[in-house]
Chains A and B, each alone.
Chain A
Amino acid sequence: MFLINCPYCGERDQSEFSSGGEAHIVRPKQPTELSDDQWAEYLFMRKNIKGVQFERWNHTHGCRKWFNVVRDTSNDIIHAVYKMGEKPPVK
């Protein structure tokens, strides 16, 4: 269990949130021109790394807004939280 600082509501318990998986995955501009492998790569393949990961989260039981989180998956330390559409504040 850990706390997440929702950019809209403030610090809340993790149980109020839902994880939306890896962030910053760009949808291909012309999906019809992709091969099945390329489409599957976009649709299903995720890094799932051990370490600092960029993720999407939703404050499901609060303001119901989506936002991005930079989280270390090995120890759940959150390095940054930023709104959708904003650039990551850390690399």
Chain B
Amino acid sequence: MLNFITPIMDTKEYSEIKISEIEPILKINLRGKSRDFITKIGKELSIITPVDPNTSSSNEKLSLLWLSPDEWFLYSNDKIHIKNENFLEDKLFKEISKVKLGSVTNVSDHWIMINLTGTKVYELLSTGCPFNFNNFKNSKGAVVQTLINHIDVIIHNKNVNDLNLFVRRSFSEHLWSWMNDSARFI
């Protein structure tokens, strides 16, 4: 993790919506196809690797999101201490990348995590998103990769009206501005 200065570092509150950027969070992209790879991730992280589409699994410290049949996104539930952060990446790299089971890429500086809470979060997202949230909002742990205002995002349904949204750093300021602007009118 290069520890770039995050572009947002802010929290905004509107009527029944709270939007805040949560940083620093560890984020690791995992790619692999073999059954051994899936088993290894589960063993190393003490998490059951989600193999069903649009699902996730979590333990006390980490959440693992399904992105595609051969791709997963791992992130820490809480803020990390930058000094200790490399431990997990090194461990996964040693056990997965080095033995050529799959690939482990630290994407902590690539993605920005924005937490959205409140009863009107889905109304906010629906103003610029083609995805139908009807089933999603009732499925705790559901994951979706979609577009919001033409920007690629990953959304993790953490709890009822409590979402973590991941957006690429280069688009994060634009999305942040758009979300704040839209939230004012809901």
Query: Using a CB–CB distance below 8 Å, which chain A residues touch chain B?
Result: 8-13, 15-16, 61-65
Contact = CB atoms under 8 A, between A and B. Distances in A.
A9 B68 CA distance: 8
Contacts of A65: 68-69
Contacts, number: 36
Contact of A61 (B53, B69, B152): B152
Nearest to A13: B130
B146 A61 contact: yes
B147 A10 contact: no
A15 B53 contact: no
Size category of the B interface is 10 to 19
5 contacts: A8-B69, A9-B53, A10-B54, A13-B131, A63-B71
A62 B69 contact: no
Contact of A8 (B53, B130, B132, B152): B53
Nearest to B153: A61
A8 B68 contact: yes
Interface string B37-53: 00000000000000001
